[in-house]
Amino acid sequence: MEPIRSQYEDDPDMMEIVLEFAAELPERANEIERVLAAGDFDQLKTLAHQLKGAGGGYGFPRITEVAGELEHSLKDGVRGDPIKGHCAALCAVLRAVVAGKGD
C-alpha cells in the first residue's frame, strides 16, 4: 500500500496534532486486531466509529472511509470473514499512514 499522508501536512497549525494522531495509529491497529480476536464486536464498532470521526478531522479521509465501512457492517450484524476483511483493510490503512514530510 502506498504511504498515506494527511491533507494537512503543509499546515503548520495542524501538523503537531496530526503527528500525535499518526503516532497512535499502529497501536490502534494492534488494538483492533486484539478486539477482533476476542470477538468483542461492540468494542470493535466503538473503535471503528472513533476512527471514522477522527480520520477526516486529521486529514485522512481514507481512514474515515474504511472505518465507516467496518462500522456500517457491524451495525448491520455482519460477522465472520467479511468483518475480518474490513478489519484487515482498516489496519493496513492505519499502518500505511506516515506522519509528516519525508517520513
72-100 pLDDT per residue, tens: 999 999 999 999 999 999 999 999 999 76
- Give the amino acid at 92: A
Considering the entire predicted model, what is its pTM? 0.94
Q: Is the pLDDT assigned to residue 7 strictly greater than 90? A: yes
pLDDT of residue 100: 64
Q: What percent of the chain has pLDDT over 70?
A: 96
Distances (CA, A) of 35 to 23, 43, 44: 20, 7, 6
pLDDT of residue 1: 85
Q: What's the distance, CA 75 to chain centroid?
A: 17
Q: Is the pLDDT assigned to residue 102 strictly greater than 80? A: no
CB 82 within 8 A of CB 101: no
